[in-house]
Amino acid sequence: MTVDRRSFLKLLSAGTAGVGGASLSMAARAAEIMPKSGRRVVVVGGGYGGTIAAKYVRMMDPSIEVVLIERNRQFVSCPFSNLVIAGERKISDLTLGYDKLAAHYGIKVVFDEVTAVDAEKKEVVTAGGSIGYDRLILSPGIDFRFDELEGYDPATTPGIMPHAWKAGEQTLVLKKKLEEMKDGGTVVLSVPLTPYRCPPGPYERTSMIAWYLKNNKPKSKIIVLDANPDITSKAGLFRKGWAKHYAGMIEYRGAKKVTVVNPAGMSVLVEGIEEVKGDVINVIPPQRAGAIAVKAGVVGPDKNWCPVNATTFESTQVKGIHVIGDACIAGAMPKSGYSANSEAKVCATNVVALMNGRELVDLSGINTCYSSITGKEAVSVAGVYKVDQGKIVAVPNSGGVSPDLSELEAIYADSWLRNIMTEMSS
Amino acid sequence: MKQIISSWSRVLVTLAVLAAGSVVQAAPATPEMLSNACAGCHGTNGVSAGFSMPSLAGQNRVAIAEAMKGFKSGERPSSVMGRLAKGYSDAEIEAMADFFSKQKAAPAAAQSLDLAMVAKGKTLHERHCKRCHLESGKEFDENAAVVAGQWLKYLQIQMADYADGKRKMSEKKADKMKPLSRDELEAIANYYASIK
């Protein structure tokens, strides 16, 4: 794919102008930027789903222009961020830029925030102006339902009780709080009801915090308050790993839904009654699709997640808008980074088919997901997915979890990260 | 009559589902659709960037299909591959093998190798391996895999599985491999990893 370097650079600077363009008048902001000259797909969100959707549309039909809109100049991966918290990885290992991807595939990257979608006019509105599309792919990830936690101030509470469920600054806040805690302290971690981003994530985090404490502050303990009745993913393996490495350190309590937070007193309340105090409190709030999905009207009757067609990932609510990744309801496919990668390719295939009047192709999807138990050992889960009667289902008699925790799983986990991040960034 | 009712109810169900927009007419998953799902771990078009995961681009079609069928039956040891391979029919496996075999191969990026081992491995290759792993392992005879330019870590894991008796070998391969020490297998792995 040849790249028009000059127009790409021009676009990069146009994006910069948009971000810094607060002094522009409202009228100027609403003006159309990048008028469409041919067929165009706009992708919103440059994470595990969006980067791949943008890349594969270009791979499959270079005559379609692709504009990727992302608010951050760099992406930080949630997968492996629990290892950063434990001091086993640097956050720079998990950080990506967009230059190489944009140059290799001729993707036009705009660094801006999408504030609205006009599905009638087929345009998205950003601070820098509006951008037209033929088809829109939203890969917005998650946002939090802070309002379901009494006492939670979205502006100040994350600095006191970090969620660290979007990787980056929050990851480092939680890491620092653990480092500052005295030996013999108590860490409290709360898990929301499913569905939430990364089903095994809270339990991997528990493991990685325990790993850090065992090596640095061995008199400390962790209390896990899980709104779900039991560990929601890889349960047997986590229990086995905890018994093997962290006996007496992890206190797991199922069916304990945190409903109130008290940042001033460093405590949380289970069901508004039972108070649990902690020296470090990691509240993982309940979640929904990223805010732009709500604004675009693609969240379903549950007001949280986006129902989509299982072949095209087109919203069943609004025509011309496709939703992939954590934000969508993808049947049996979990809300994971690998699922988002896989869904993005299915979506790209069928967006290109729709734009060329070609026959659609059935979904074939994969999820692979590793969780670290210690700094050296990991476990895995894998699945293969297909469409049956309009729903995404796991292929019978396939998939499942690793038989045990092992160092070999951790070696594969490292390669997983290298490959998937390379796929996203080049 | 009963049949008519049931076929009518089927039509109604279909109409209801179509109205909900959740069922569309679509062709069965293509080789590209099946294979793209693997690229998260094996790299775009099968060019791997992960040390323990092999590149599939330009690999022998027969070797990929045999590997997948071995994972599926459990004959070949694996981590996630056994669980994933069970999700595909033999025809789908053949389609993916064909897809990856046709992609442009690219040797692994710079990796740190032991040069003395590379030299030793070259001699051993000439003596034991070159009749099936042709052209320094870039080409293949029958079902042999392309081993040149693979990641060292991946080759080491395979060598260990052979040495531990976890991975079965054909009689022909066993004849050549059995006399080799672990140190010699490590040398051969270094040699193949060094080929660009």
Residue ranges per structural domain of chain A: 5-143+288-359, 146-285
Helix axis angle, B115-124 relative to B182-194, nearest 10°? 100
Mean residue pLDDT across chain B: 90
d(C-alpha A349, C-alpha A352), whole Å: 5
Mean residue pLDDT across chain A: 94
Work out whether the CA dihedral A245, A251, A257, A262 comes out positive or negative. Answer: negative
d(C-alpha A402, C-alpha A368), whole Å: 11
B32 touches chain A (CB under 8 A): yes
Shortest distance between the Cα of B126 and any Cα of chain A, in A, equals 31
Output the CA–CA distances (angstroms, integers) from residue A123 to A206, A281, B42, B109, B117, in the order listed: 43, 42, 36, 41, 60
d(C-alpha A287, C-alpha A299), whole Å: 13
Report the residue from A362, A380, A385 with minimal CB separation from B80.
A380
Q: For position B78, what pLDDT does the model report?
A: 92
Question: How many Cβ atoms from other residues are within 10 Å of residue B26's Cβ?
Answer: 18
Give the residue from chain B lying closest to A409, CA to CA: B79
Phi-psi region of A151 (alpha: psi -120 to 50; beta: other; left: phi over 0): left
Q: For position B110, what pLDDT does the model report?
A: 85
pLDDT digits (tens, 9 = 90+) for A46-71: 999 999 999 999 999 999 999 999 99
d(C-alpha A66, C-alpha A87), whole Å: 38
Homologous superfamily of the A5-143+288-359 domain (CATH) = FAD/NAD(P)-binding domain (3.50.50.60)
Homologous superfamily of the A146-285 domain (CATH) = FAD/NAD(P)-binding domain (3.50.50.60)
- The per-residue DSSP string of B83-134 comes to HHHTTS-HHHHHHHHHHHHTSPP-PPPP----HHHHHHHHHHIIIIITTTSH
d(C-alpha A190, C-alpha A371), whole Å: 18
Q: For position B19, what pLDDT does the model report?
A: 43
Q: For position A23, what pLDDT does the model report?
A: 37
Average pLDDT of A283-290? 98
Is the pLDDT at B14 greater than 90? The verdict is: no
Per-window interface: B 154-183 vs A, CB < 8 A: 157
Average pLDDT of B49-74? 97
- Return the percent helix, strand and coil in chain A, to nearest 5: 35, 25, 40
Q: For position B4, what pLDDT does the model report?
A: 45
Q: For position A302, what pLDDT does the model report?
A: 97
Weakest-pLDDT range from A235-239, A383-387, B80-84, B106-110: B106-110
Long-range CB contact pairs, B180-188, < 8 A, 24+: B180/B124, B180/B128, B184/B120, B184/B124, B185/B159, B186/B117, B186/B156, B186/B159, B187/B117, B187/B118, B187/B120, B187/B121, B187/B124, B188/B121, B188/B124, B188/B125, B188/B128, B188/B129, B188/B155, B188/B159
Whether A361 sits inside 8 A of B41 (CB atoms) is no
Average pLDDT of B54-68? 98
Fold match, A5-143+288-359 / A146-285? yes
Question: How many Cβ atoms from other residues are within 10 Å of residue A132's Cβ?
Answer: 18
d(C-alpha A238, C-alpha A110), whole Å: 41
Could you tell me how far CA B84 lies from the centroid of its own chain? 12
- Backbone torsions φ then ψ of B92, nearest 5 degrees: -65, -40
pLDDT digits (tens, 9 = 90+) for B118-141: 999 999 999 999 999 999 999 999
d(C-alpha A380, C-alpha A371), whole Å: 6
Phi-psi region of A269 (alpha: psi -120 to 50; beta: other; left: phi over 0): beta
d(C-alpha B16, C-alpha A59), whole Å: 36
Q: Which two tokens stand for residue B8?
A: 């009518």
B153 close to B52: Cβ distance less than 8 angstroms:
yes
At A394, is the pLDDT very low, low, confident or very high (cuts 50, 70, 90)?
A: very high
Q: How many inter-chain contacts (A to B, CB under 8 Å) are there?
A: 148
Q: For position A292, what pLDDT does the model report?
A: 98
A111 close to A13: Cβ distance less than 8 angstroms:
no
At A3, is the pLDDT very low, low, confident or very high (cuts 50, 70, 90)?
A: very low
Element containing residue A415 per DSSP (H, E): helix A407-425
Shortest distance between the Cα of A1 and any Cα of chain B, in A, equals 15
Could you tell me how far CA A308 lies from the centroid of its own chain? 18
- The per-residue DSSP string of A127-155 comes to TTEEEE-SEEEE---EEE-GGGSBT--TT
Domains, chain B, ordered by start: 31-101 (1.10.760.10), 115-194 (1.10.760.10)
Q: For position A291, what pLDDT does the model report?
A: 97
A367 touches chain B (CB under 8 A): no
Question: How many Cβ atoms from other residues are within 10 Å of residue A138's Cβ?
Answer: 31
Q: For position A196, what pLDDT does the model report?
A: 98
User: What ipTM was assigned to the predicted interfaces of this complex?
Assistant: 0.91
Question: How many Cβ atoms from other residues are within 10 Å of residue A223's Cβ?
Answer: 20
pLDDT digits (tens, 9 = 90+) for B98-117: 999 999 999 888 899 999 99
Share of chain B above pLDDT 90, in %: 84
Question: Which chain B residues touch A398 with a CB distance below 8 Å?
Answer: 83-88
Q: For position A164, what pLDDT does the model report?
A: 98
d(C-alpha A197, C-alpha A205), whole Å: 13
Q: Which two tokens stand for residue A294?
A: 């709500």
A368 close to A416: Cβ distance less than 8 angstroms:
yes
Q: For position B22, what pLDDT does the model report?
A: 56
Shortest distance between the Cα of B113 and any Cα of chain A, in A, equals 18
Q: For position A30, what pLDDT does the model report?
A: 65
At B67, is the pLDDT very low, low, confident or very high (cuts 50, 70, 90)?
A: very high
d(C-alpha A289, C-alpha A302), whole Å: 11
Q: For position B24, what pLDDT does the model report?
A: 78
